[in-house]
Amino acid sequence: MKRLLLIGCMVLGMATAAMSQARKVQRLPYVDQRQWHYGFFLGLHTQDLKLWNSGLANSGEEWYADTPDYSPGFTVGVLGELYLTRHFALRIQPSIAFGDKKVVFKEQQQGETYSQDVKSVYALLPVDLKFSAERFNNHRPYIVVGVMPAYDFVKTKAKPVKLNAPDCYLEVGLGCDFYLKNFKLIPELKFSFGLTDVLTRNRPDLAEPEMKKYAQTMAKARSRMISLLFYFE
């Protein structure tokens, strides 16, 4: 996650430096005035879970769950952008995201631990409103805000952490359009916050008492994601 933030800051620094340059001939001068824009994108992301622990004690043991580590995931999708006004556009970005989250359970008295890798394959449908600043030379910074419905195709069984398949995120992000000779390259840093509790509580699939003990320590869970995306338009 720190690497993604660092790269995002570098992108912003490049955009700021570009805006301070002298006037140049604009490439693709009318591309933003098209009614529809199309493209595709690739990117990296990290998945996270915000966990609320129940505080229940089982046979004198107190277990708490957390997600201490972040593993990189991969995202690929297509972009459709509708021109609204000179500064506003509506974007739809159907995509697939592959990744996982590591949940660690720790007993507070003895220090024992148990970990689980929660793998996910998400079908995503972000719908974002894009606000772009004035174009200067061949660069144009912007911000986005929107919602992202999601569906996880991975079904977890007989493990403490089981997440509901549907979810919905609130998204905010920032990026910069770089106008190249034949296309636009658009790096973007985006933050996504889950709006629903995705923890599955009814667990008849947990036959082992040990697994039930871990599952009972969690009261609620919400998903989060940080993405670094590169659009080609």
**Tens digit of each residue's pLDDT (9 = 90 or more) over 11-50:** 555 545 544 556 677 777 677 878 898 999 999 999 999 9
Gap between the Cα atoms of 135 and 86, Å rounded: 10
Query: Residue with structure tokens 């969690």?
Result: 218
For residue 13, the model assigns a pLDDT of: 54
For residue 210, the model assigns a pLDDT of: 83
Gap between the Cα atoms of 21 and 30, Å rounded: 21
Token pair listed for 104: 């660690």
For residue 107, the model assigns a pLDDT of: 86
Average pLDDT of span 53-73? 83
% of the chain exceeding 90 in pLDDT: 59
Gap between the Cα atoms of 186 and 231, Å rounded: 5
- Phi, psi dihedral angles at 66 (to 5 degrees): -155, 165
Q: What is the pLDDT of residues 210-219, one digit of tens each?
A: 888 888 889 9
Average pLDDT of span 72-89? 94
**Residue 98: pLDDT band with limits 50, 70, 90:** very high
CB distance 152 to 122 below 8 Å: yes
For residue 108, the model assigns a pLDDT of: 83
Token pair listed for 73: 């995931």
Indicate the pTM of the whole model. 0.84
Per-chain mean pLDDT for the chain = 87
The amino acid sitting at 185 is L
